[in-house]
Amino acid sequence: MSGFDDSQAELIEMLGTVLVRRAYTGGETIFEKGDEAEEAFAVLKGEVDIVSKSAAGASVVLTSVKPGQFFGEMALLIEGARSAAAVAKHDCELLVLPRFVLDKKMLDASAFIKLWIRTLATRIVDVSHRVAR
């Protein structure tokens, strides 16, 4: 798949039957900060901005997600709320990974790996919240 490295393309191919393609128009909100996480996403075409609000209330683009990159996975992994909003920068096409697919894959993982992944994800989210302050 264009834009994805070999391991990402292999993962997408493996999950291909359960991934759904979804299109968004430029400026359309994919999810809001505080939303419950039910899906993670991979960008096939276009770009997605991950956006938060500054202390003054201005929108701040934290990062732009390009084809071949994933977003929205942290809140899914830690079973928490979205820490920022995602907005289509341009018209884009995404692959959507539903929570139930990740949950099913996590059942196959050892307890150690599950704990390790959730701990790392929690630490990353904690650091990003501290930086945002």
Give me the sheet containing 85-88, strands edge to edge: 29-31, 85-88, 48-53, 59-65
Looking at residue 128, its pLDDT comes to 64
Looking at residue 37, its pLDDT comes to 92
Q: Domain range for residue 78?
A: 6-132
Q: How far apart, in whole angstroms, are the C-alpha atoms of residue 94 and residue 44?
A: 5
54: CATH: 2.60.120.10
Q: How far apart, in whole angstroms, are the C-alpha atoms of residue 97 and residue 72?
A: 10
Q: What is the mean pLDDT of residues 123-129?
A: 68
How many independent structural domains does the chain possess? 1
* Per-residue pLDDT tens digits for 9-33: 555 565 555 678 899 999 999 999 9
* Per-residue pLDDT tens digits for 39-89: 999 999 999 999 988 888 888 899 999 998 889 988 888 788 898 999 999
Looking at residue 2, its pLDDT comes to 54
Q: With respect to residue 1, please indicate whether it lies within any of the assigned structural domains.
A: no
Looking at residue 61, its pLDDT comes to 93
Q: How far apart, in whole angstroms, are the C-alpha atoms of residue 52 and residue 44?
A: 23
Give the pairing type, strands 85-88 and 48-53: antiparallel
Q: With respect to residue 29, please indicate whether it lies within any of the assigned structural domains.
A: yes
Q: How far apart, in whole angstroms, are the C-alpha atoms of residue 70 and residue 50?
A: 11
